[in-house]
Structures are given as C-alpha cells and as structure tokens.
C-alpha cells in the first residue's frame, strides 16, 4: 500500500470526489481520500491522502486555508455562486469606494458564526443540504463557528458600465468549515446590496501552496513514465509542527503492539508526540496526564 499526500491542483468542472476517483485509478489503490471539499466551479489546492495518510485528514484540515476570489455586487443566486438561478437584483446601487470596501472586509475579521448554504454538502438528519434544496425542501441548518484572520482587496475593484455591477477582488485566510461564497453574500448584505461569488481559487490548504501542486495531466503523464511515486509527498507533511521522538528498538516493539510509553522515558509533557523509528513516522501518541503515559492515537506503518 502506498502512503503519502498528493497536493492536487483541482481543475474547475470536477468534483472533489471525481479527483479522488481518478487518483484511485491511477495508483490502483482504494484507500484514498481528500481533505476539504472544493465545489466544482472552484479550482486550486486539494490535498489528497493515500494509505496511512488518510488518518491525517483532520490534521491537514486544521491548518486553515487561503483563497483568492471575486465578489460581484448587483445580483444574488440560489447557490451563492454563478451555478445558481438569479433570485435578486439591484443595479442602481452606488458603487463602493475603496475605503468602504476595506471597512466592509475588516468587519468580518475574527471569530464569527456562519450558517452554511442550502446548496452544500453539509449533512442534516443523514441527508446533504443540497439534496433538500434540489427537492424544494427547507431544513434548519447547523450554525458553525469560523475564524477569518485576513480579508483584504488584492487590487482595485471593477465597475462594469454595461451590467452595472461591481466586482471586488479579495484574498481571505480562514479556518476550516468556512464557506467563502456565503462570506461573499454576507459582504453584500453588510451594504444592503445583493452579491454573489463569481470566482474562487484555493491558494493554500493543509500547509501546501498552489506552487507545490500537481495537475491530473501531470499525474497521467507520470503514470506513463513510471514516475507516479515521485509525485507523492510524505505523510509527515501533515505532522509538521508537532514534537517528535525517535524510538529505540525496544520502544518501537511496544508501539507495534499498541503499548503505552512512560512520559519520563520520552522526556516529554507535550499533549501529542510523533513517534519515529528508522527516520520514519510510525505513530502519534497522546499524553494521559493523570497516569503520565503516552497512549496510541494514530498508527501508521508498523512493520
């Protein structure tokens, strides 16, 4: 079984599941998963985990994300992006100044509560919200806490004299679970103008930047030349920043059987440790403070 992470540059027009399926086929491996869904009309960084790395999806998602995109003022849609049907228009609004835009973006910084859109993959009572939406049903959506650490203009906005819309180009740094299209709609609501997200690219996710990504075309070419393994990043990329300990042979033997390790022998009081043997990440262990023991959390290659 191959283990590691492929930082994929997901193209527009494919679902995240489509990308996982393609990689399953290329690597002839069933144990494949992604860390954070991207909508079909969004491109950019989509870390895809193979083998033992699938245990680290939560670690990758916890690092936060960076996006670049565009908000267009003047109309709103059912899906909050260009895939939906227009449900509101206002082409007589007074275009926002740079100062107003900057003040509006700053308003969303920090911790806030967001309600996910009806056209989303969030599950309620065992069904995806988009399934309710497609059947014309309504359901109470779960509120979730998100955090925006940076939200600013990338360049001057553009006012279209023909459509009488205004497009704002932004960069946003946000926590996992943030729906940027909902953020775009809420930005418009802040000024009392219907709004829609008209473009979005994920620039960073799971610690991987867009510059580090590979495309599906590059993977297919690598498959033809027998170089697929070279496109995989080690699973340790998902563990960066965590303290590590190199195990002795006797300690590793205990870890292989799921044994506990005394905190004193590891000389640590850190909540989580990455345990390595022969310069390879083997497991993460968490500290039971009351018993001063490190216990198994996630186990990787143990042979």
For the chain, the distance separating the N- and C-terminal CA atoms, rounded to the nearest angstrom, is 12
Helices (H), the chain: 16-27, 57-61, 98-107, 129-134, 180-190, 216-225, 249-256, 263-266
- Residue 54 sits in the same domain as residue 73: no
Averaged pLDDT score across all residues of the chain: 93
CATH code (residue 256): 2.30.130
- Residue 74 sits in the same domain as residue 29: no
State both tokens at 30. Answer: 């069933």
- Residue 19 sits in the same domain as residue 126: no
- Residue 72 sits in the same domain as residue 9: no
- Residue 56 sits in the same domain as residue 172: no
| Listed residues 215, 237, 259: the one ending a domain | 237
Whether 129 has a pLDDT exceeding 80, the answer reads: no
What range defines the domain where residue 279 resides? 242-299
pLDDT tens figures, 132-159: 878 887 888 888 899 999 999 999 999 9
pLDDT tens figures, 86-111: 999 999 999 999 999 999 999 999 99
CATH code (residue 137): 3.30.2350.10
Confidence of residue 2 (pLDDT cuts 50, 70, 90): confident
Cross-strand partners of 5: 49, 233
Confidence of residue 27 (pLDDT cuts 50, 70, 90): very high
- Residue 73 sits in the same domain as residue 96: yes
Domain tally, the chain: 3
Lowest mean pLDDT among 67-76, 110-119, 143-152: 110-119
- Residue 157 sits in the same domain as residue 195: yes
Q: Which of residues 35 and 108 earns the better pLDDT score?
A: 108
pLDDT tens figures, 169-195: 999 999 988 999 999 999 999 999 999
- Residue 48 sits in the same domain as residue 148: no
Of the candidates 39, 81, 186, 281, the residue annotated as catalytic is 39
For 297, other C-beta atoms within 10 Å of its C-beta total 16
Element spanning 123, H or E: strand 123-124
**pTM for the predicted model, two decimal places:** 0.90
Whether 262 has a pLDDT exceeding 90, the answer reads: yes
CA nearest neighbour of 187 among 55, 76, 41, 51: 76
Catalytic: 39? yes
Whether 231 has a pLDDT exceeding 90, the answer reads: yes
Share of the chain above pLDDT 70, in %: 100
Identify whether the C-beta of residue 78 lies closer than 8 Å to the C-beta of residue 133.
yes
- Residue 80 sits in the same domain as residue 192: yes
Whether 118 has a pLDDT exceeding 80, the answer reads: no
Report residue 233: phi and psi, to 5°: -90, 145
């Amino acid at each position: 079984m191959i283990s590691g992470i492929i930082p994929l540059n997901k193209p527009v027009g494919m679902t995240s599941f489509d990308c996982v399926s393609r990689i399953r086929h290329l690597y002839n491996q069933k144990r494949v998963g992604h860390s954070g869904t991207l909508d079909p009309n969004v491109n950019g960084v989509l870390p895809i985990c193979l083998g033992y790395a699938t245990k680290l999806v939560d670690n990758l998602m916890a690092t936060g994300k960076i996006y670049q995109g565009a908000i267009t003022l003047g109309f709103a849609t059912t899906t909050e992006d260009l895939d939906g049907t227009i449900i509101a228009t206002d082409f007589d609004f007074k275009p926002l100044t740079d100062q107003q835009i900057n003040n509006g973006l700053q308003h969303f910084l920090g911790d806030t509560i967001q309600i996910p859109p009806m056209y989303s993959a969030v599950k309620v009572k065992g069904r995806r919200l988009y399934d309710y939406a497609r059947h014309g049903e309504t359901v109470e959506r779960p509120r979730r806490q998100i955090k925006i650490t940076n939200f600013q203009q990338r360049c001057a906005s553009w006012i279209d004299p023909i459509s009488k819309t205004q497009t704002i180009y932004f960069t946003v740094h946000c926590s996992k679970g943030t729906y940027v299209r909902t953020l775009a709609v809420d930005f418009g609501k802040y000024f009392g103008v219907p709004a829609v997200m008209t473009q979005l690219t994920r620039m960073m996710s799971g610690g991987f930047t867009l510059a580090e990504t590979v495309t599906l075309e590059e993977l297919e070419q690598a498959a033809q030349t027998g170089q697929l393994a070279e496109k995989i990043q080690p699973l340790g990329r998902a563990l960066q920043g965590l303290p590590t300990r190199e195990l002795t042979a006797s300690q590793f033997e205990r870890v292989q059987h799921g044994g506990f390790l005394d905190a004193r022998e590891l000389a640590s009081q850190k909540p989580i440790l990455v345990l390595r043997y022969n310069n390879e990440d083997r497991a993460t262990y968490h500290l039971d403070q009351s018993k001063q023991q490190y216990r198994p959390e996630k186990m990787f290659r143990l042979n």
